[in-house]
Structure 1
Amino acid sequence: MALATSEDPDTSTISQVDDSDSHPEVDPEPAPGLHGMPVRWYDADRTESYTKIEPFQETLDTSVEFFYRPLTLTALALALGALAYVATTPDVLEEGRDKRRVGIYASIVSFLLFSMLQFRDGPYIRPHPSFWRIILGINLLYELALVFLLFQDIDSARELLTYIDPNLGRPLPEKSYGENCALTVQNVFDALDIFCVAHALGWFCKALILRDYWFCWILSIAFELAEYSLQHQLANFEECWWDHWVLDVLICNWLGTYLGMKTCQYFEVKHYEWRGIRQTRGLRSKAKRAMQQFSPHDFTAFKWAGSTDFLHYITVVMLLAVFLVAELNPFYLKTLLWMEPDHPIIIGRLAGIFLCGLPAVRELYQYINDPRRAIRMGQHTWLLLATICTELLVIRKWSRGMFTEPFPIYVKLAWSLGAVILTVYPVFRFGIPAAREYIRRHQKRMGKRKAN
């Protein structure tokens, strides 16, 4: 009887399961939020990688600590006071004067002040991170101006520029440099002008940006080939052969590149040991330390290594293409807008691209070579790329009906051959070895499976 009344564990478990199936229990409805408490936007975990925005430069120049103290409210109060004084004082802003120009200038200064105080830091801390924030703000203003001009026709754009300079808006005669190409001392001497100095200075700046001999040489030759290809559109691209390859490439471009690379090598091997101005004794030493504030805090040598893998190869090719477009854009803009080559707007554009290119290429280099730290493309790189592409869109729109002569057949064949080489090279350099490695690994795995 005792055995008959004892419970079998297996049958007991089954019966319990059957009972639960016949009478299913309804789970209580979960409470809203987290642990019964509503979730608010500031409860998010800001330490997660996808929510954390790390500054590019985490170390500050502690040798001048005073200039790194946050003074945003003080700057805001001073700026508002200056605006109130200039805008409301009758003897400063006289009635009846054209206030639109003053208002535009005040808006630009206000925007640059916000850029200086609130934009993120870039890769450089000398002379001060705020300087490079202002450069980024100027780049953004230029990009916004280009976007505005993109929606204007060429005649409206020329008329708008007359508000900046009344001397603009007048057609200019086209100048050609290929009329007398006899290789004589007199012709070479006549070809020497201020633009030779501009060539050398420009390539000095490009060397500081790219920091690579081979890259500068390839870009120099590519630009001369681009001038050959576009001389049917722009008359000032038509030069003598010795002007292209002797004066430009072998003398001016080489001299600027050589001096620029020597400057890079000097900063690369220089021993950096910074002391604060307070720790420096003597007036002469303090003045020297103040001047050193305008020199690099440290220096990184660039090794683009375009033949190591496909990522570096495509980066070098794209950077070369962007540099070529940035070099050609001002020639088209000054032709379409009827500007002299030495106009302050053209010079300002060239200087601005140089200052924006310094941190932009530095950010791109770290983005490609140190992806663990640079988790996204830098702001200078992104904005400068957008600016150059917008310039190209503006030129493309305004050039409709302006350059009607078609490209010569030899130009099309030459650039087609170059495109084929740029496409075939990575296939043989990276594609075929990668395919062989994949096949070898696949065969090795299949052999292990058969052995097992």
Structure 2
Amino acid sequence: VMHLIVNNHYFCFFFFFSFFNRRAHAVTVLLLLTCALVYVTLLEETPQDTAYNTKRGIIASILVFLCFGVTQAKDGPFTRPHPAYWRFWLCVTVVYELFLIFILFQTVHDGRQFMKYIDPKLGVPLPERDYGGNCLMYDPGNASDPFHNIWDKMDGFVPAHFLGWYIKTLMIRDWWMCMIISVMFEFLEYSLEHQLPNFSECWWDHWIMDVLVCNSLGIYCGMKALAWLSMKPYQWQGLWNIPTYKGKIKRIAFQFTPYSWVKFEWKPASNLRRWLAVLGIIFMFLLAELNTFYLKFVLWMPPEHYLVLLRLVFFVNVGGVAMREIYDFMDDPKFHKKLGQQAWLVAAITVTEFLIVLKYDPNTIMLPIPFFIMQCWFLGIFLIFIWTMWRFFIRVTQSLLSLYSDITLRYKETRRRKQEVPSDWERPSGNGSTAAPTGRSKLNGSSETLRYRKS
């Protein structure tokens, strides 16, 4: 693929020109792109290799689409380091979703063999590594290295765990939600280790190395970075207006920080809509995490393959935009009347990936979960349902009944006080006889009665 991209150097040049320029320059890019197509048509000799021409044509089509998106697509909520950067990832999201749809419509054999067009080493079933086995932290039987079980787990995925949760914290911007997702995913690994062998890990690998060390440390560093970003002084002075070179270098470094800062306050218990939205965000996060393991399992990709890494890099760049669009849609639905484009695409990609897993290996997905694990999950779902009913229905109903009772008591008290005040014609006159009130008093009452009614 990289060889084909290098050979399509004119497409790459025009694409990066439109990317690094501050303005879109749509007409300029269109003219240069037309010149490149004219050169390919009239001056370049077409190779006689059908497979090579097919790959080259697909890559050129993708690059043309990316040029269109970088210059014409709608801007998202982020503007740094450059608006074109985020438009580029929006177009990559569209391309990736179309690729997943194509894979979904193939047979299982054809879909797996199609991966050979990307990398000839793919399309071959690979055994999964089993992280379980001997779970002794200190093995007295191995005198030379009694802690060999711990060192065996220290692979490249340990810093990946830390870096991943650091970035996820920058996306979610909430300590509680990050910890809940971290712990819930370990429970999912416990529940699904009968389906995927690499989910079978030692207890200390789950809770000490993953949750307490890698995940918690990544979340802590992420929260510290969020605190710094919230307190960082934001100066929108142009680069060329800064007099010193040190100031210019500092301004260039700050170009890779947010233009402005928005603190996420999810407030899941404030109303039912936000509560269901937070549950949906947690569910989609967990599903995207599971898709990472199941996709490489059903498509026969080794864990260290560059496509797995590229998918993670892709979600790092699009996930932050999607979370910001979801938060804006939840926090201000009057201004943001529909879900953002990047959030919509990320949700569609997550669902499509799961459908691919379900189609390509239904036997693994449908393996029955052990009964005691099912009981635990049903208990957790039941408790969430009960809390939801109590918080948003029973408690609200009680509050409304209490308010109604309070209004009724106040109304009765007001009527009782009115009945205790005697009217003018019921008051005795000076000689002890009941005197009829004047015409004015009959119609409007005495001045004292009028003052009481007004008050």
TM range (shorter): 0.7 to 0.9
1:233 aligns with 2:195: yes
CA 86–408 in structure 1, closer or farther in 2 if over 3 Å, else same:
same
1:100 aligns with 2:54: yes
Unaligned runs of 5+ in 1: 1-65
Tell me the alpha carbon deviations over residues 48-88 of structure 1, each in whole angstroms, 9 at most, x when there is no partner.
Answer: xxxxxxxxxxxxxxxxxx95545111111112222332454
Number of the residue aligned with 1:128? 82
Number of the residue aligned with 2:226? 264
The 5 A counterparts of 1:183-194 are: 183-184=137-138, 185-194=147-156
Number of the residue aligned with 1:295? 257
Task: Give 1:110's match in structure 2, choosing from 39, 64, 71.
Answer: 64
**Using the alignment, how far apart are the partners of 1:72 and 1:440 within structure 2?**
63
Offset at 1:255?
Answer: 1.4
Task: Give 1:85's match in structure 2, choosing from 17, 39, 50.
Answer: 39
Number of the residue aligned with 1:12? none
Q: Secondary structure at the match of 2:270?
A: coil
Q: Residue 378 of structure 1 aligns to which amino acid in structure 2?
A: G
The 5 A counterparts of 1:347-386 are: 347-386=309-348
**Using the alignment, how far apart are the partners of 1:403 and 1:215 within structure 2?**
27
**Using the alignment, how far apart are the partners of 1:422 and 1:433 within structure 2?**
15
**Using the alignment, how far apart are the partners of 1:445 and 1:301 within structure 2?**
39
**Using the alignment, how far apart are the partners of 2:366 and 2:74 within structure 1?**
45
The 5 A counterparts of 1:325-404 are: 325-403=287-365
1:278 aligns with 2:235: no
Task: Give 2:165's match in structure 1, choosing from 203, 215, 224.
Answer: 203
Q: Would the aligned equivalents of 1:312 and 1:368 in 2 still touch at CA under 8 Å? A: yes
Offset at 1:301?
Answer: 1.6
**Using the alignment, how far apart are the partners of 2:377 and 2:37 within structure 1?**
55
**Using the alignment, how far apart are the partners of 2:264 and 2:274 within structure 1?**
12
CA 250–75 in structure 1, closer or farther in 2 if over 3 Å, else same:
same
Number of the residue aligned with 1:321? 283
1:426 aligns with 2:426: no
CA 89–282 in structure 1, closer or farther in 2 if over 3 Å, else same:
farther
CA 404–365 in structure 1, closer or farther in 2 if over 3 Å, else same:
closer
Q: Would the aligned equivalents of 2:93 and 2:345 in 1 still touch at CA under 8 Å? A: yes
Determine which structure has the larger helix proportion and give its number.
2
Q: Would the aligned equivalents of 1:360 and 1:378 in 2 still touch at CA under 8 Å? A: yes
Offset at 1:395?
Answer: 1.2
Q: Residue 302 of structure 1 aligns to which amino acid in structure 2?
A: F
Deviates more, 1:301-310 or 1:417-426: 301-310
Offset at 1:119?
Answer: 1.5
**Using the alignment, how far apart are the partners of 1:148 and 1:267 within structure 2?**
41
Unaligned runs of 5+ in 2: 1-19, 139-146, 419-455
Offset at 1:264?
Answer: 1.2
Q: Would the aligned equivalents of 1:154 and 1:336 in 2 still touch at CA under 8 Å? A: no
Q: Which has the higher contact order (CA 8 A, sep 6+)?
A: 1
1:173 aligns with 2:122: no
**Using the alignment, how far apart are the partners of 1:384 and 1:96 within structure 2?**
36
Percent of aligned pairs with the same amino acid = 39
Offset at 1:186?
Answer: 2.3
1:439 aligns with 2:401: yes
Q: Secondary structure at the match of 2:285?
A: helix
**Using the alignment, how far apart are the partners of 1:148 and 1:354 within structure 2?**
23
**Using the alignment, how far apart are the partners of 2:27 and 2:194 within structure 1?**
56
Tell me the alpha carbon deviations over residues 367-392 of structure 1, each in whole angstroms, 9 at most, x when there is no partner.
Answer: 11122221221111111111111111
**Using the alignment, how far apart are the partners of 2:181 and 2:367 within structure 1?**
26
Number of the residue aligned with 2:109? 155
Tell me the alpha carbon deviations over residues 166-202 of structure 1, each in whole angstroms, 9 at most, x when there is no partner.
Answer: 0001111121111110122221122111110111111
Number of the residue aligned with 2:267? 305
CA 404–383 in structure 1, closer or farther in 2 if over 3 Å, else same:
closer
Tell me the alpha carbon deviations over residues 342-380 of structure 1, each in whole angstroms, 9 at most, x when there is no partner.
Answer: 211111111111211101101111111122221221111
TM-score, structure 1 as length reference: 0.81
TM-score, structure 2 as length reference: 0.80
Deviates more, 1:150-159 or 1:163-172: 150-159
Q: Number of residue pairs matched?
A: 386
**Using the alignment, how far apart are the partners of 1:410 and 1:346 within structure 2?**
33
**Using the alignment, how far apart are the partners of 1:211 and 1:181 within structure 2?**
35
Q: Would the aligned equivalents of 2:47 and 2:53 in 1 still touch at CA under 8 Å? A: no
Q: Residue 299 of structure 1 aligns to which amino acid in structure 2?
A: W
Q: Residue 266 of structure 1 aligns to which amino acid in structure 2?
A: W
**Using the alignment, how far apart are the partners of 1:143 and 1:118 within structure 2?**
19
**Using the alignment, how far apart are the partners of 1:89 and 1:240 within structure 2?**
62
CA 96–329 in structure 1, closer or farther in 2 if over 3 Å, else same:
closer
CA 332–350 in structure 1, closer or farther in 2 if over 3 Å, else same:
same
Offset at 1:300?
Answer: 1.3
**Using the alignment, how far apart are the partners of 2:188 and 2:23 within structure 1?**
49
